[in-house]
Chains A and B, each alone.
Chain A
Amino acid sequence: MDRNFEEEIVLSGIPAAPGITFGEAFVVYADEMPISSEPIDPSKVKGEIERFEAALNRTREELADLHRALAAEMGEEHAKILDSHIMMLGDELMKEETLETVRNENVNAAYAFSRIIDRTLKAFDKMEDQYLRERSEDIRDVRKRVIRNYFGQKSEGLADIKRKAIIVAHNLTPSDTVGFKKKFVLGFVSDTGGSTSHAAIIARSLGIPAVVGLGDFSSRVRPFDRLIVDGLSGQVILHPKPETEELYRKARDRFHEMEKELLKIKDYPAVTLDGRTIELSGNIETADEVQEVIDHGARGIGLFRTEYFFITRGTLPGEEEQYRYYQNVIRRMAPDPVLFRTLDVGGDKLAAWVEDNVEANPFMGWRGIRFTLSRKDILRTQLRAMYRAAAHGRARIMFPMVSIVDEVRQALAICAEVREDLKRERYQFGEKVEIGIMIETPSAVAMADTLAREVDFFSIGSNDLIQYALAVDRGNSRISYLYNPLHPAILRLIDDTVRAAHKNNIWVGICGEMVADARVRGALLLIGLGLDEFSANAYLIPEIKKIIRSITYDETRALVKKALKKSTASEVAALLNAFIEDKRPELMEFIPRGPV
């Protein structure tokens, strides 16, 4: 069938890195080689042994290269994943047993090796501990590499890529995404993952578009199929029609123009036309992302999601290790502030080391401050590391998922104890660390005036607040239409929070994806609602700054006053659209959108 006549298919996923790209698919297959169990001629045994040893050596070199590349590109922390793989390869007993099987049974080495690994994998399958059991993935990974090298095939992964293409994969792991030639990669598309998955972070740092969470897309695409990836709206178009190509080409040109314009104002302050300054900072998950935040003109880190450091390790990091990690970020951002969020595990980001982690309803379960207050050992260690790191610059600490005042009082008492301990132990630590809480439950909004008297600042976590307030799981496609940041209910909750904060003379920021979700409309509302600080993914910062610098605080306030009286999200959207079209048509230009 002629590909030109194949039907255009449009799929929606999660936008993970901005931009629009066109190209042919490079599909990364996860299949394993078929291995023959047929006996070999005894004269070939010697050759088999040499071939197997060569495969081990080649794999060892490959992993060492990968380790270096991963460390250089993503930081040492990411490279640690490979240490265990290298150790497994060095298992002399495994090697001896493989060679013995080849000698005694006259089978090929790939088969002998596979059988030995299978036995280990069977042992893994029987393990009761879920975390230990899932480590079998690492063993499978090593087996795949060795077998591939035994067959003399070079990496079937991205390192193979020799033409410009859009990478399509079921799942992109860190070891997939290193060692490839960046200049050939036009974009990423994957079936799994969210906006904070490895593939998404790498794509953003390389500045190439990515869409993730596309379901079974990789099995529907064949190599060389024509694709358009719109990392702004999260759409991927398979076999696009010429008209569609044309629309997207225009959208891409608009986006490039806009990017250029935006970077011009990178070093300007985020201040409205009538002089209201808004603190603009970046969200990060790992220390490796600090440069990206600085490059986009942010003045601080407004959300450091510390759980990533914990989750990727498999064991709890100790105080010294955390201290070194945090102080590195603080030093690089100084004199601008770094806002640490204490460990926020549970719900969507369960850490493997949390015992008994199966909950019927994790989003309403043991997570955030509820978890850390019940594991005070973990909380204390983390707070000690943060306070000590704060001696090297400016730190802020915030607690997630607060639903009642008692939690805040307990947390503050622990902070005070930690400071006392550090003083007694004669450590250097930050004495003036602001302590705040996230506002992400409706009960915290209801109690905001009381909570504001306890802490130094609020930061609104819009994703969770929207989810809890509208009782909607945005991942459930039947009801995800309810997840709308422009809903008047959400605006009222934010308005109440800001009023309570300002009445008690504390500042209030927002660190969720509201701006990413609603773009210019979300930004206008948040400015008008009186938020003092915005923290967003680095790539959004120039855009938000442009919007702030284009309007007056007064007019956004007037806009918000009207919006708060609307009954539905679509009425709010219409109000904002009319405002932008009438009063600030130039902002339309600056807002990246698909061609819709």
Chain B
Amino acid sequence: MVTGKVTVENRNGIHLRLSGELVKVASRFKSVVMIGRESELVNAKSMLGVAGLGAEFGAELLLSADGADEKEAFDAMVDLFRNKFFVEE
């Protein structure tokens, strides 16, 4: 299992559309990908779960990936956050 932290750099936080992007990326991997605040991690392949996080601008989230392609999954997620979900704001 790989774990680490990511920070929301998008000004409007992870709203619905970005939740969709996050789910799409996580779903590309076989590993179980979990994300959230310390007390409440949700499955990153669940649109409802991710949207329900209400992760606002600046929020620090825990990220974990567990499975055959955990390294790739983790890196892809970190990449997504670092690049502000590849959308211009």
> Measuring CB to CB, which residues of chain A are less than 8 angstroms from any residue of chain B?
83-84, 87-88, 90-94, 116-117, 119-120, 123-124, 126-129, 131-133, 135, 138-139, 314-319, 321, 352-353, 355, 381
Contact = CB atoms under 8 A, between A and B. Distances in A.
Interface string B16-48: 111110010000000000000000000101111
B47 A91 contact: yes
Nearest to B50: A91
B88 A316 contact: yes
Q: How large is the interface on B (under 10, 10 to 19, 20 to 34, 35 or more residues)?
A: 20 to 34
Nearest to B46: A93
Given A91-B23, A315-B89, 7 more contacts: A91-B47, A92-B45, A94-B48, A120-B48, A129-B57, A135-B51, A318-B87
Nearest to B43: A93
Contacts of B18: 315
Contacts of B13: 129, 131-132
Of A120, A132, A133, the most chain B CB neighbours within 10 A belong to A132
B88 A318 contact: yes
A321 B88 CA distance: 10
A321 B14 CA distance: 21
B54 A124 contact: yes
Given A87-B23, A135-B15, A314-B12, A123 B53 contact: yes
B67 interface: no
B88 A319 contact: yes
Nearest to B20: A87
A83 B17 contact: yes
Nearest to B88: A318
Contacts of B54: 123-124, 126-129, 132-133
Nearest to A320: B88
A88 B48 CA distance: 6
Interface of B: 10-20, 23, 43, 45-49, 51-54, 56-57, 87-89
B51 to A, nearest CB: 7
Contacts of B23: 87, 91
A139 B15 contact: no
Contacts of A117: 48
24 contacts: A87-B23, A88-B51, A93-B46, A94-B47, A116-B48, A119-B52, A120-B49, A120-B51, A124-B51, A126-B54, A127-B56, A128-B54, A129-B54, A131-B15, A132-B13, A132-B15, A132-B56, A135-B16, A139-B48, A139-B51, A314-B16, A315-B12, A315-B17, A319-B88
B10 to A, nearest CB: 8
A317 B46 contact: no
Nearest to A86: B20
Contact of B16 (A84, A123, A318): A84
Given A124-B52, A131-B12, A319-B88, A84 B46 contact: no
Contacts of A128: 54, 56
A138 B89 CA distance: 22
B74 to A, nearest CB: 20
Contacts of B12: 131-132, 314-315, 352-353
A83 B47 CA distance: 12
Nearest to B21: A87
Contacts of B48: 88, 91, 93-94, 116-117, 120, 139
A120 B19 CA distance: 14
A529 B88 CA distance: 45
A468 to B, nearest CB: 31
A353 B11 contact: yes
A139 B46 CA distance: 13
B30 to A, nearest CB: 14
A139 B51 CA distance: 10
A88 B11 contact: no
A26 to B, nearest CB: 31
A437 to B, nearest CB: 27
Nearest to A319: B88
Contacts of B56: 127-129, 132
Given A131-B13, A132-B54, A84 B19 contact: yes
Ranked nearest first, the 7 interchain pairs of A and B with the lowest CB-CB distance are A318-B88, A127-B54, A93-B46, A123-B52, A84-B16, A129-B56, A120-B52
Contacts of B10: 315
Contact of B17 (A90, A92, A94, A314): A314
A83 B46 contact: no
B17 A84 contact: yes
B77 to A, nearest CB: 17
Contacts of A381: 88
B61 to A, nearest CB: 14
A83 B54 CA distance: 19
Best-buried of A87, A94, A353 by chain B (most CB within 10 Å):
A87
B7 to A, nearest CB: 15
A25 to B, nearest CB: 34
Contacts of B46: 91-94
Contacts of A84: 16-17, 19-20, 47
Contact of B47 (A88, A131, A321): A88
A131 B57 CA distance: 12
A117 B89 CA distance: 30
Nearest to A317: B88
Contacts of B17: 83-84, 314-315
B42 to A, nearest CB: 9
B32 to A, nearest CB: 11
A93 B49 contact: yes
Nearest to A138: B16
Contacts of A319: 88
A93 B16 contact: no
B19 to A, nearest CB: 7
Nearest to B18: A315
A440 B78 CA distance: 48
B25 to A, nearest CB: 13
B51 A83 contact: no
A350 to B, nearest CB: 14
B16 to A, nearest CB: 4
Contacts of A91: 23, 46-49
Contacts of B11: 316, 353, 355
